[in-house]
């Protein structure tokens, strides 16, 4: 037996409805077995039904597909429709289009004040720049690629105490380099303040 939809020759997947898997999935997703743009629920409706709305101050998690990076995604419409990040879609539905002429390389981005990538609560979203985003990550120590500085750096050969001694020493750069096991140029850079400048 084949699907009851005209022209479909696929085998029945759900006997009760006499539909193949493709038409059954379309029915439960869009409310119609017709393969037309009109059959799809409006974009706004599809966005909001994938969000678990909680209290006004709580995170509202995205419950559908998400990227490997942890952000929710949704298609704008059609089989080849553009994919958008869920929190950006929520921002636009709530506040209007995101301006295209923002500062910096990335323009305006939608930031999470709650630091939860799946959150779609409009109260937790704000516009900012990529620089704002990085600054926020660094301030909260969330960025995994924060460069270690000074003696905390994994390849540091010197300590802050060594830097102070080098600057106070009367030995020349070559002698100090041999003593500390570093290049003469390294000692020179320390002395003129090109490196380790934060150590007073």
Q: What are the structural domains of the chain? A: 1-40 (no CATH), 41-139 (3.90.75), 150-192 (no CATH)
pLDDT band of 69, cuts 50, 70, 90: confident
User: Is residue 23 within 8 Å of 16, Cβ to Cβ?
Assistant: no
Predicted pLDDT at 39 = 55
Q: How confident is the model at residue 144 (pLDDT cuts 50, 70, 90)?
A: low
What confidence category does residue 114 fall into, taking pLDDT thresholds of 50, 70 and 90? very high
User: Taking the model in full, what pTM does it have?
Assistant: 0.54
**Closest to 121 in 3D by CA, of 154, 91, 161, 156:** 91
Q: pLDDT tens-digit profile of 22-62?
A: 888 777 767 778 776 555 678 898 899 899 999 999 999 99
Q: Please determine, for residue 96, whether its predicted confidence score (pLDDT) is greater than 90.
A: yes
Q: How far apart are CA 80 and CA 193, in angstroms?
A: 56
Whether the pLDDT of residue 154 is over 70: the answer is: no
Euclidean distance between CA atoms 76 and 88, whole angstroms = 12
Q: What is the pLDDT of residue 3?
A: 92
Residue 120: the pLDDT is 96
- pLDDT for 119 equals 96
Residue in 142, 108, 125 with CA at minimum distance from that of residue 60: 125
Q: Is the pLDDT of residue 102 over 80?
A: no
**How many angstroms separate the Cα of 18 from the Cα of each of 23, 30, 128?**
10, 17, 51
């Amino acid at each position: 037996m084949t699907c009851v939809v005209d022209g479909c020759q696929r085998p029945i997947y759900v006997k009760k409805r006499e539909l193949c898997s493709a038409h059954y999935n379309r029915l439960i997703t869009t409310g119609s077995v017709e393969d037309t743009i009109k059959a799809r629920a409006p974009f706004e409706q599809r966005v909001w039904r994938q969000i678990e709305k909680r209290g006004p101050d709580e995170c509202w998690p995205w419950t559908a597909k998400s990227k490997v990076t942890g952000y929710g995604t949704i298609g704008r419409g059609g089989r080849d429709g553009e994919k958008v990040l869920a929190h950006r879609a929520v921002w636009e539905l709530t506040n209007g289009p995101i301006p295209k002429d923002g500062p910096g390389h990335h323009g305006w981005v939608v930031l999470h004040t709650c630091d939860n990538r799946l959150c779609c609560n409009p109260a937790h979203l704000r516009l900012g720049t990529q620089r704002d985003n990085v600054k926020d990550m660094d301030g909260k120590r969330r960025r995994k690629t924060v460069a270690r500085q000074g003696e905390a750096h994994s390849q540091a050969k010197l300590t802050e105490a060594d830097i102070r001694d080098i600057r106070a020493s009367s030995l020349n750069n070559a002698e100090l380099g041999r003593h500390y096991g570093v290049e003469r140029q390294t000692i020179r850079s320390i002395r003129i303040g090109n490196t380790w400048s934060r150590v007073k």
